């Protein structure tokens, strides 16, 4: 699978995080090492078993799209 990463250089360091896997982030001296660290972090997170506890409930939550994600096609006719 592919995951979206935000990476940038800050001073002498490269920092980055995975948008699709919150909590996976890294800081390295080179861009190549940063990408490798993000890959390893993603693999570790996805390999981690999360036990389901008795009495716990799993659900989904609906959240409205942020304003920047909504289309702005006002006045267009198709």
Label residue 15 by pLDDT band (50, 70, 90). very high
19 within a domain of the structure (yes/no): yes
4 within a domain of the structure (yes/no): yes
The string of pLDDT tens digits covering residues 30-47 is: 999 999 999 999 999 999
C-alpha gyration radius of the chain: 18
Residues 6+ apart with CB under 8 A from 43: none
Question: What pLDDT, on a 0 to 100 scale, did the predictor assign at position 72?
Answer: 67
| Of 49 and 5, the one with more pLDDT | 5
Is the pLDDT assigned to residue 61 strictly greater than 80? Answer: yes
Query: Whole domain around residue 17: which residue ranges?
Result: 1-46
65 within a domain of the structure (yes/no): no
Total domains, the chain:
1
32 within a domain of the structure (yes/no): yes
């Amino acid at each position: 699978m592919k995951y979206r990463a935000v990476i940038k250089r800050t001073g002498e360091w490269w920092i980055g995080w995975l948008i699709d896997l919150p909590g996976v982030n890294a800081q390295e001296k080179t861009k190549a090492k940063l990408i490798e660290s993000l890959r390893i972090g993603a693999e570790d997170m996805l390999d981690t078993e999360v036990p389901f506890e008795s009495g716990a409930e799993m659900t989904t939550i609906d959240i409205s799209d942020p304003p920047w994600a909504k289309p702005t096609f006002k006045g267009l006719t198709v």
